[in-house]
Amino acid sequence: MRFYEYESRRIVERAGIPVTRYGFCTTAGAAREAAARIGGPVVIKSQVLTGGRMKAGGVRFADTPEEAEVDAAAILELEINGHLPRGVLVDPKADVAQEYYAGVVWDGTAKRPLMLFSDMGGIDIEEVAAEHPGHVGRGHLSNLIGPGDYEAKQVIAQTGLTGSELTRATPVLARLARLFRAHDMTLAEINPLARLTDGTFVALDAHMEMEKEAKPRQRELLVETLGIRPGDTREAYTPSEFERNVAAIDAADHRGVIQGRDHGFDGDLGLVIGAGGGSLTLTDAVRSQGGRPANYTEIGGNPSVAKACGLAKEVLSKDGVTKIAVMMSIVSNTRVDIVARGVIKACLELDRDPGETIAIFRIPGAWEEEGFKILDRYGVEYCDRSVSMWEAARRAVEKVQGGDGGRAPNAAGGRVLR
Amino acid sequence: MSILLREDFTFIVQGITGREAVNLTRECLDYGSRVAGGVTPGRKGREVHGVPVFDTVEQAIAAHGAPVDGSVVTVPPAFTKDAVFEALAHGIKLIVVVTERVPRRDVAEMVELAGLHDARIIGPNCLGVIAPGVCKMGGIGGPAKDAAKAYAAGSVGVMSRSGGMTTEISSSLSAAGLGVSTAVSIGGDAIIGSTYAELMPLFEADPETDAIVIYTEPGGRMEAQLAEWRRNAGSRLPIVAFMAGKFMDDEEMKGMTFGHAGTIVEGPDDTATEKIARLEAGGIRVVERIDEIPDAVESALRSGDAMAGVARSAR
């Protein structure tokens, strides 16, 4: 879960890391007041959850409150990568002597957090690491003890910093490491961390991401401190109608889990597919063989007939979908017969012939004999585990593209795509 | 033989009274596994398919009268870390964590503490381990008769980030007459107890294992770690890999996770394309199609080289 800059700043501030006297504003008038309160030149920054705001014109400099108001009004209406800002941050223009980078990330191989520090701040840390490796200090943290100030000090000292620079930067990195752990962050960055001309360190920009799984136990920070609503998921895009409908069907019934996505998909073959790895494998198999999926789904656990039916109906109702392929890797928990009943019911309720609409049913495993009997009755083509996931996907693609030689495309609502 | 498990391997189930745990207990017992006891706080005195339930791990071990080798942990995410710590405190050396959605920080703490106790964690977000005909630890393969159908004893070690695909791949190896020595569902999260490279030395030491198949996905650096291990270890075992989720490399899929929490692509090295290149550079054969796995294993076994049959230019 991503945070806006103004929230990230609040998080570091709360952890005892100095920040400038910034203001977060949602109107141009408020930005003018904030600039007047600050006094002197200010920076106005768009608050969006996307990169590249500098390039897009989302950061402006103003010398007077009047200019700040004009700049804020322009930024508030400026869409960046399809995102309108939540507001603007009004920040005093700081007297910067030098910029640094301080960050903490997970190292999945070491299974420990990794502290990073550089005396070349303000630019991308990957770039610094690649081109100036001597300017990046690193150090892993224990998950069980600390982090101690000395660990932060060691990392900073690797870049050659000494004197008051070192002693003043140390608590900043140590506190960042502690908040990373305390708040289940997956990324905590201060870039740039600035040393002002008076020698003090302040965070001029901060970027935080929290692990989704930890949201329930971070309620105090999320809701009480930052005022984030529980429904504010911070996804990279707004869920589509299909995605919202599938989520609602899933939430209505605790049996099994279904998920649906159609962001980035616009084909004609509806996919009612399942299990995490199986869905990835099958989506690739369809696309590699020239198929155009209309969506992505995951069936897991042991969904009820109603749930499987609801999912299949949503997929079938998508624009351009002519047939669905119902496929999973070998199942041991999900019951084949229940999914079979669900998808057939979906066809019947939409007044479509299951035999024509379901291009292929390939779910081997638990209760398969019962499932296959039902499929037989409705003339649905199915296969067991002797037919690979690749081959099942091939058959589905061939049918939806009208090349099966036998069956005509669905007369009820289908169109021939060749 | 097998890795991790053996005929007389004994384990407990923590969270045994949960719905999923009741099922997997039944499946494991039917398969012939030795389930010594179960733990659910406050449920002491009950039985689950004849397995006695206790309040604490300490009680379960005391009642068993001997140390137990392993534990299957299937408790809600908020309690998982504590359950694993409890198992470690009582000398349990192999812990299979089934639970999904355990925060990364908790997983990292569990894994670090396990290291200090010289213990091993498999998972979280996994289905467990099976050594065909020897022992089944966890829900892997499902009911005993289904597990027997998909997993025939043989010579291939299987490791997979997807529980379902562990069974799918093992079934195709069994159908091809190759069979499986041990299959490990390693889990789908960003941080897991045992990665491919961390399990490889065990397979290397297992005389029954002649080749390895891995199922992998975008996200993380586990594949790079395996490729590096193979280059440095001078391993006798050819490795065949299958990469799912290639569609996630598309521009419009950036920043999204599919399937498992671990598929989050956090850097340019985490994409499917990049990982395939790394695996191949490490001498690991990456098959394009899931149904090519048994043939790729057979040809690797004939020549002793996973890259056999792959044109030199493609290496």
* Residue linked to tokens 């980078």: A101
Report the pLDDT value the prediction gives residue B270, as an integer from 0 to 100. Answer: 85
For the segment B254-282, the average pLDDT, to the nearest whole number, is 84
Report the pLDDT value the prediction gives residue A417, as an integer from 0 to 100. Answer: 31
Report the pLDDT value the prediction gives residue B159, as an integer from 0 to 100. Answer: 98
* Residue B277 C-alpha, separation from nearest chain A C-alpha, in angstroms: 18
Chain A residues with CB-CB distance to B254 below 8 A: 236
**Contact between B242 and B216 (Cβ < 8 Å):** yes
Any B CB within 8 A of A298 CB: yes
Share of chain A above pLDDT 90, in %: 84
* Residue of chain A whose Cα is closest to the Cα of B267: A126
Q: Distance of alpha carbon B170 from its chain centroid, rounded?
A: 13
Compute the distance between CA of residue B4 and CA of residue A147 in angstroms, rounded to an integer: 34
**Contact between A207 and A5 (Cβ < 8 Å):** yes
* Residue of chain A whose Cα is closest to the Cα of B270: A108
| CB-CB under 8 Å, A296 with B77 | no
Taking 70 as the threshold, does the pLDDT of residue B275 lie above it? yes
Chain A residues with CB-CB distance to B258 below 8 A: 261, 276, 279-280, 296, 298
Any B CB within 8 A of A109 CB: yes
- Average pLDDT value for chain A: 92
For the segment A31-38, the average pLDDT, to the nearest whole number, is 96
Q: Residue B310: which pLDDT band, with cuts at 50, 70 and 90?
A: low
Q: Which of residues 133-172 of B touch A (CB under 8 A)?
A: 139, 141-143, 146-147, 150, 160-165, 167-168, 171-172
Report the pLDDT value the prediction gives residue B306, as an integer from 0 to 100. Answer: 66
Q: List all residues 6 or more positions away from A308 whose beta carbon is below 8 Å from its beta carbon.
A: A256, A258, A272, A299, A338, A339, A341, A342, A343, A346
| CB-CB under 8 Å, B190 with A108 | yes
Which of A2, A179, A210, A281 would best serve as a mutation to test chain B binding (most B beta carbons within 10 A)?
A: A281
Task: Dump pLDDT digits (tens) for B89-111.
Answer: 999 999 999 999 999 999 999 99
Count other C-beta atoms under 10 Å from residue B32's C-beta: 12
Task: Dump pLDDT digits (tens) for B161-188.
Answer: 999 999 999 999 999 999 999 999 999 9
For the segment A157-181, the average pLDDT, to the nearest whole number, is 97
For the segment B58-83, the average pLDDT, to the nearest whole number, is 97
Chain A residues with CB-CB distance to B105 below 8 A: 143, 181, 184, 211, 214
Task: Dump pLDDT digits (tens) for A11-20.
Answer: 999 999 999 9
| CB-CB under 8 Å, B188 with A109 | no
**Contact between B272 and B258 (Cβ < 8 Å):** no
* Residue of chain A whose Cα is closest to the Cα of B147: A332
Query: Of A240-254, A291-305, B222-236, B295-309, which gets the smallest average pLDDT?
Result: B295-309
* Residue B67 C-alpha, separation from nearest chain A C-alpha, in angstroms: 26
Angle between helices A368-377 and A336-349 (to 10 degrees): 20
| CB-CB under 8 Å, A261 with B244 | no
Report the pLDDT value the prediction gives residue A345, as an integer from 0 to 100. Answer: 98
Which of B290, B291, B293, B295 would best serve as a mutation to test chain A binding (most A beta carbons within 10 A)?
A: B290
Paired with B180 in beta bridges are: B156
| CB-CB under 8 Å, A328 with B258 | no
Compute the distance between CA of residue B187 and CA of residue A52 in angstroms, rounded to an integer: 35
* Residue of chain B whose Cα is closest to the Cα of A292: B247
Q: Which of B64, B90, B117, B260 is catalytic?
A: B260
pTM of the full structure:
0.92
Structure ipTM: 0.94
Taking 50 as the threshold, does the pLDDT of residue A138 lie above it? yes
Q: List all residues 6 or more positions away from A227 whose beta carbon is below 8 Å from its beta carbon.
A: none
Nearest to A108 among B23, B164, B221 (CB): B221
Taking 90 as the threshold, does the pLDDT of residue B252 lie above it? no
| CB-CB under 8 Å, B163 with A277 | yes
Task: Dump pLDDT digits (tens) for B202-212.
Answer: 999 999 999 99
Taking 90 as the threshold, does the pLDDT of residue A146 lie above it? no
* Residue B3 C-alpha, separation from nearest chain A C-alpha, in angstroms: 22
- Average pLDDT value for chain B: 94
Q: Residue B255: which pLDDT band, with cuts at 50, 70 and 90?
A: confident
| CB-CB under 8 Å, B250 with A388 | no
| CB-CB under 8 Å, B195 with A275 | no
* Residue A332 C-alpha, separation from nearest chain B C-alpha, in angstroms: 4
**Contact between B61 and B89 (Cβ < 8 Å):** no
Query: Of A76-85, A145-154, B63-72, B172-181, which gets the smallest average pLDDT?
Result: A76-85
Count other C-beta atoms under 10 Å from residue A226's C-beta: 18
| CB-CB under 8 Å, A284 with B247 | yes
Task: Dump pLDDT digits (tens) for B15-64.
Answer: 999 999 999 999 999 999 999 999 999 999 999 999 999 999 999 999 99
| CB-CB under 8 Å, A288 with B288 | yes
Report the pLDDT value the prediction gives residue A379, as an integer from 0 to 100. Answer: 97
Taking 80 as the threshold, does the pLDDT of residue A233 lie above it? no
Q: Residue A410: which pLDDT band, with cuts at 50, 70 and 90?
A: very low
Is B260 one of the catalytic residues? Answer: yes
Compute the distance between CA of residue B262 and CA of residue B79 in angstroms, rounded to an integer: 21
Report the pLDDT value the prediction gives residue A409, as an integer from 0 to 100. Answer: 40
**Contact between A387 and A362 (Cβ < 8 Å):** yes
Per-residue tokens: A303 = 């969904």
Report the pLDDT value the prediction gives residue A231, as an integer from 0 to 100. Answer: 78
- The dihedrals phi and psi of A2, each to the nearest 5 degrees, come to -95, 155
* Residue A63 C-alpha, separation from nearest chain B C-alpha, in angstroms: 37
* Residue A385 C-alpha, separation from nearest chain B C-alpha, in angstroms: 8
- Write the DSSP assignment of B152-185 as a string of letters: -EEEEEEEESSHHHHHHHHHHHHHTT--EEEEEE
Nearest to B103 among A144, A184, A386 (CB): A184
Q: Which of residues 26-65 of B touch A (CB under 8 A)?
A: none
- Write the DSSP assignment of A352-405 as a string of letters: --HHHHEEEEE--BTTHHHHHHHHHHTT--B--TTS-HHHHHHHHHHHHTT-SS
Report the pLDDT value the prediction gives residue A230, as an integer from 0 to 100. Answer: 79
* Residue of chain B whose Cα is closest to the Cα of A278: B165
Report the pLDDT value the prediction gives residue B309, as an integer from 0 to 100. Answer: 53
Nearest to A390 among B77, B256, B289 (CB): B289
For the segment A211-240, the average pLDDT, to the nearest whole number, is 88
Pairs of CB atoms within 8 A across A/B: 166
* Residue of chain A whose Cα is closest to the Cα of B193: A111
Q: Residue A416: which pLDDT band, with cuts at 50, 70 and 90?
A: very low
Report the pLDDT value the prediction gives residue B261, as an integer from 0 to 100. Answer: 76
Q: DSSP code of A410?
A: P
Nearest to B291 among A214, A366, A391 (CB): A391
* Residue of chain A whose Cα is closest to the Cα of B170: A330
Nearest to B290 among A181, A281, A298 (CB): A281
| CB-CB under 8 Å, B104 with A283 | no
Taking 70 as the threshold, does the pLDDT of residue B311 lie above it? no
* Residue linked to tokens 């960055």: A189
Task: Dump pLDDT digits (tens) for B135-168.
Answer: 999 999 999 999 999 999 999 999 999 999 999 9
| CB-CB under 8 Å, B109 with A333 | no
* Residue B65 C-alpha, separation from nearest chain A C-alpha, in angstroms: 32
| CB-CB under 8 Å, A385 with B171 | yes
* Residue B22 C-alpha, separation from nearest chain A C-alpha, in angstroms: 13
Which of A213, A235, A271, A384 would best serve as a mutation to test chain B binding (most B beta carbons within 10 A)?
A: A213
Count other C-beta atoms under 10 Å from residue B294's C-beta: 21
Q: List all residues 6 or more positions away from B154 whose beta carbon is below 8 Å from its beta carbon.
A: B132, B173, B174, B177, B178, B179, B180, B181
What stretches of B248-312 show up as alpha helix (H) in DSSP?
A: 272-281, 293-303
Report the pLDDT value the prediction gives residue A414, as an integer from 0 to 100. Answer: 32
Task: Dump pLDDT digits (tens) for A356-408.
Answer: 999 999 999 999 999 999 999 999 999 999 999 999 999 999 999 985 444 44
